[in-house]
Amino acid sequence: MAHVNHTAGRKVWAFAAGHIPLTSTGKEPVFTSHDKIAVLNAGTADASIRITIYYENEYPVQDHEIGVSAQRVRKIRFNDLINPLPIPLGTPYAFVLRSNVEVVVQFSRADTGFRDAAGFCVTPFFQTDHE
């Protein structure tokens, strides 16, 4: 099958409403409360991504690194970002994602702390590249 270049998205994405719920109900890992991003790399070059986490009362944590192969999608739970430092549960945070190529990012949360699980998606803010 031929490679088709359908580049989409931006190189910088920001989300301000991070908060991994402290409690979960149900079996792990399926029903573990979490924040998650889905990253679509529709281009023909691999994406090298760095995520910086910002807190209300702490210094930013830089250099969470992930990769997304060309013409692929990857889902990442923020609960699993442990290097260089994990994100504390129940703590508000924000993050900025920077990629070497244009990507599309969707942020979602699953809060299973109550008997009826609820999830929602947040529309992102993106910053265009300055030329």
Residue numbers of the domain that contains 42 = 10-122
Quick: pLDDT tens for 56-77: 999 999 989 999 999 999 999 9
pLDDT category, 130, cuts 50, 70, 90? very low
Asked whether residue 51 is assigned to any structural domain, the reply reads yes
The CATH number for 105's domain is: 2.60.290.11
pLDDT above 70 covers what percent of the chain? 82
The answer as to whether 1 is a domain residue is: no
Predicted model pTM:
0.84
The span from the CA of 46 to the CA of 58, in Å, is: 32
